Structure 1
Amino acid sequence: MSSGAQRLVLKIARAATTESNLTWATVGRLPWLSSASHARFLASYPAHVVLNMPSLSPTMTQGNITKWRKQPGEQVAPGQILAEVETDKATIEWEAQEEGFMAKHLVPEGTQDIAVGTPVAVLAEEAGDVAGLASFSPGASSPATPVAAASQPATSELPKSTHLPPHQVLNMPALSPTMSQGNIVEWKKKVGDPVAPGDVYCEVETDKATISWESQEEGFVARILLPDGAKDIEVGRPALVLVDDKETVPFFASFTASDAASGEQTPPAPAAATATAAKAEVPPASAVSVQRPPETGETNVAAPAAASTGRLRASPYARKLAAELGVALEALSGTGSVGRIVADDVRGATGSAAAIPPVAAPAAVSSATPQADTAAAYVDLPHNQIRRVVARRLLESKQTVPHYYLTMECRVEEIQQLRERLNALNSAGQKGGKGGAVAPKLSVNDFVVKAAAKALKEVPGVNASWFPDFIRQYNNVDISIAVQTPSGLQVPIVRNADLKSLGAISSEIRALAGKAKEGKLLPGDYAGGTFTVSNLGMYGIKQFAAIVNPPQAAILAVGAMTPTIARVDGVFKEVPTILATLSCDHRVIDGAMGAEWLVAFKAQIENPLLLFA
């Protein structure tokens, strides 16, 4: 241990004479991962490192552990694979950055929706220390000692906040006039970071927009009580702890929201304090128990939300949701602050006794058989990460982006002739790829992508994104290709498509589509993109309008080739055509600019030799 670290431990020891356990912890950011952290603990447990769920993609807020590749007792070295993690884009291998021995998995294989930053595993520094960590749990600083705990005086049950250094608990603020709850999108400050007025704590998604929560205080972040991606956080719920002195930050390593609630309240009588603490520590299972249908047909006992004062405590959104779903709020037990019913309580009650309107007992019995028949008539398919993210982003696009659509018919007989000739030459071996390999078989979609890239160079205003204070116009042309996979829609990117040959574009699209369908895309394969092409022609769809893929400003939807009677050189004949529909963000692309782009695209498609210029 360095001399600086020793001085820190001695200062903490002198300040913590009333504490029974002393924990020394440092929380550091991994330089290779923007949203992952690890903590090294030295206390009654053997020396160990707690590994948190990392952020393996730029948009990842939670993930699923699909498989542990290192089992307890196995040695771990930097670069080795710890686990396979399903993110919002693909299944990615989590590489170790530490060396040691896997001591314990804190979450089993198959665990879903693990928020980034949640403890998931423990590494021991020595093989002989693995057994000593078998009983480890997140937030614990020493092994459980039930006998000693039983012999402690009653004062040990007082809230831990009474022994903590001076601190301030910051609650979820109301960032808009109608906001009753919000989602933590991303924390901008980490534990140990200094804070000054005007600094941004985190990005909060409200009912209207995503807003920065700015600091009004100065100090140091001692504890973050809500992880990245936390949803439906009631206004007023504890979210963050600040301290004045950075050296006191380690005291808050195990601080919880219940500590914050007990510390903020006016000290009641001892008996009431004990009851309050017991109520705050009731596990979530108690909320489930009151939702079960009563076996004797009797009505449920009034929930804690209304028991203490006779007034029902529920958030406005929870009341609205309950009315829509037909849930009786009186039958629910709130999990929010002071027993308040929140939206998750209402959703959890759907299909339970609380969701059934009060009726006579015989009617309830007679409805049992129809309910069983209805349940057998459908299958509920749980959402995966990709489906959730695509649904959220596309809904946001339709709600916030002012779409308009332009359609143009393009003749493709020259593309067909050129394509057939090039493919014939490739098949005959007269044209090879790199290293002597046979060049890929070209598709009409390859020509479409190349033509779109060339048109973006001619009309650069379409190759842009909307920002609140400016429009960003891109110099590079990175085209996202919509690919349907078993787990949902993916959009891998062909970068610098305007500079690549048709053969290179064809090979890259096939490689990316294969990786997408196997769930093996890496963040570099899909992060970014300045324009999107979606082609449903292979399904026989003649024409459709796609949804803009934010932050891009346009997407091209291409339909199937259809024979059409057209006048060519004074003669009517049948020619193949496609319908191309451009969906535009009107904030970025005016109607005339969108039309100009389609004219440029049509010229490239109908004169394919221009693609080689």
Structure 2
Amino acid sequence: MAFSLARIAARSLHTSCRRHALSKFAMPAMSPTMTEGGIAAWKKKEGDTFSAGDVLLEIETDKATIDVEAQDDGVLAKIIIADGTKNVSVGSPIAIVAEEGDDLSDAARMASEAAEPSSKPTTHQGEPEPSTPPTSDASKDPVSQSQPQEAKLELAKGDRIFASPIAKKIALERGIPLSKVQGTGPEGRIIREDVEKYQPPVSAAAPATPTAEYVDIPISNMRKVIGTRLTQSKQELPHYYLTVEINMDKVLKLREVFNKTLGEKDKSAKLSVNDFILKAVACALADVPEANSAWLGEVIRQYNKADISVAVATPTGLITPIVMDVGSKGLATISTETKALAKKARDGKLAPQEYQGGTFTVSNLGMFDIDHFTAIINPPQSCILAVGSTKPAIVPAPEEERGFKTVNVMRVTLSSDHRVVDGAVGARWMAAFKGYLENPLTFML
């Protein structure tokens, strides 16, 4: 998935190449709010030619990993910013490119001038790259004395070791001396794969590698943004919470009937309880539109459509892809779109328009057997619904001979911004939502 802004950058870059033979390729802005990003991986090597449509590299933003495609033909003359580098400012040079047939002899000089110390990207810990990384004294290493072939890879004392931040991290954790690792990156730079493939020489005198007692995990751009936004939300938004219990018997029976029918046509097409929840949320927002609002400072914006953000857990953090205009869609469509968005979210392939915006958020932890929890509002939205698991419960039933019965109950909690949604409005919305789920045929009429 390639972003259009990257194509614009590539087009302007190619035009510049025609005038100056060699040109700097700057870090593109992949969204209107992006100020920095990471180089996830270069898909072309130095000296490789590329054609229009080829993926040059993957850029990591705060929410996804996005392909940058070439708009025209050219040559990747020199890579300035290596794989795994974080916090690269938008507009800073990341490579030197040219047209096929151009003289590339000046590429190294241009790259060196572009990589000034004041504009260097930071490491994964957010600290400036050290100007003199630690080196190893080969003369004090008993292994190097017994392994002359391995000694060829060692550097003279005082020489700089060039390695990517992630390669340094892995080497530190595993106790691997970088001076003994053969780099295969640009100009011999040590990359992650080099460290992971490194095999220490077999020697009776070789000391055992110590086992680390902990692991420092680099903070991804996504995790950094999540931390900032949720802290701001909890500090600045006056949250309050409303909880209700909902009888899910009719939803479960209706879901069983639908899935049996759908399964005869397509075994993979099955509705989840969450699909019913999203539909009921949209219907309740149509009944109580005050809850479908956002605080924008000078005005409260009330939306006419229910664009529902659905919280999805990914390896790098939480993201909320949006199912657009849920009220106008049937359960099967809602189910298909939700599954597709969730997969793209976990693969890091969401386009900005698929997760930016939304009018209301649903966070469902029922599949993790969580009975009840409260969620933090995603500003500028005013509400988020926390959904727990559905479990059997005994409730009073005067009409029954025993005076009680067992029903399937789901607990949900609405977090609301009191500046926008008053308690009475929140209570009305919860009553409408509960009514739709306890009588699901009403939103199919």
2:435 is the alignment partner of 1:603: yes
Which of 457, 477, 498 is 2:327 aligned to?
A: 498
Which of 15, 28, 53 is 1:54 aligned to?
A: 28
Give, in whole Å, the separation in 2 of the partners of 1:478 and 1:439: 25
Query: 8 Å contact 2:287–2:432 — kept in the other structure?
Result: yes
After superposition, the CA RMSD in angstroms is 3.3
Task: Name the count of aligned residue pairs.
Answer: 357
Give, in whole Å, the separation in 2 of the partners of 1:565 and 1:602: 18
Taking a change above 3 Å as real, the CA distance of residues 42 and 380 of structure 1, as seen in their structure-2 partners, is closer
Taking a change above 3 Å as real, the CA distance of residues 76 and 39 of structure 1, as seen in their structure-2 partners, is closer
2:76 is the alignment partner of 1:102: yes
Taking a change above 3 Å as real, the CA distance of residues 30 and 412 of structure 1, as seen in their structure-2 partners, is closer
Give, in whole Å, the separation in 1 of the partners of 2:341 and 2:120: 33
Give the AA of the match of 1:504. T
Taking a change above 3 Å as real, the CA distance of residues 420 and 52 of structure 1, as seen in their structure-2 partners, is same
Give the AA of the match of 1:479. I
Return 510-519 or 498-507, whichever deviates more: 510-519
Find the counterpart in structure 2 of residue 408 from structure 1: 244
TM superposition shift of 1:87: 1.4
Which of 377, 385, 392 is 1:563 aligned to?
A: 392
2:421 is the alignment partner of 1:592: no
Identity of aligned residues (%): 46
Give the AA of the match of 2:251. I
2:276 is the alignment partner of 1:447: yes
CA displacement 1:12-53 (0-9 Å, x = unmatched): xxxxxxxxxxxxxxxxx969669998597799x952221111
Return 591-600 or 516-525, whichever deviates more: 516-525
Find the counterpart in structure 1 of residue 311 from structure 2: 482
TM superposition shift of 1:81: 1.2
Q: Which runs of 5+ in 2 are unaligned?
A: 123-127, 135-210
Find the counterpart in structure 2 of residue 539 from structure 1: 368
Q: Relative CO higher for 1 or 2, CA cutoff 8 Å, sep ≥ 6?
A: 2
TM superposition shift of 1:588: 0.9
CA displacement 1:286-316 (0-9 Å, x = unmatched): 8999xxxxxxxxxxxxxxxxxxxxxxxxxxx
Find the counterpart in structure 2 of residue 239 from structure 1: none
2:444 is the alignment partner of 1:612: yes
Find the counterpart in structure 2 of residue 419 from structure 1: 255
- Aligned pairs for 1:258-273 (under 5 A) are none
Q: 1:575 is paired with a residue of what secondary structure?
A: strand
With structure 2 as the length reference, what TM-score do the two structures score? 0.73
- Aligned pairs for 1:44-443 (under 5 A) are 47-137=21-111, 285=130, 376-427=212-263, 429=264, 432=265, 437=266, 440-443=269-272
Give, in whole Å, the separation in 2 of the partners of 1:611 and 1:446: 12
TM superposition shift of 1:568: 4.3
Q: Which runs of 5+ in 1 are unaligned?
A: 1-28, 141-224, 230-282, 290-374
Give, in whole Å, the separation in 1 of the partners of 2:325 and 2:290: 17
Taking a change above 3 Å as real, the CA distance of residues 568 and 531 of structure 1, as seen in their structure-2 partners, is same
Find the counterpart in structure 1 of residue 161 from structure 2: none
Give the AA of the match of 1:97. Q
Q: 2:389 is paired with a residue of what secondary structure?
A: coil
Q: 2:419 is paired with a residue of what secondary structure?
A: coil
Give, in whole Å, the separation in 2 of the partners of 1:109 and 1:226: 17
Give, in whole Å, the separation in 2 of the partners of 1:421 and 1:569: 29
CA displacement 1:76-129 (0-9 Å, x = unmatched): 343321101121111110112354321111111222221211110111134232
Find the counterpart in structure 2 of residue 248 from structure 1: none
TM superposition shift of 1:494: 0.7
Higher Rg of the two aligned structures? 1
Give, in whole Å, the separation in 1 of the partners of 2:387 and 2:13: 47
Give, in whole Å, the separation in 2 of the partners of 1:568 and 1:127: 85
With structure 1 as the length reference, what TM-score do the two structures score? 0.54
Query: 8 Å contact 2:88–2:121 — kept in the other structure?
Result: no
TM superposition shift of 1:228: 13
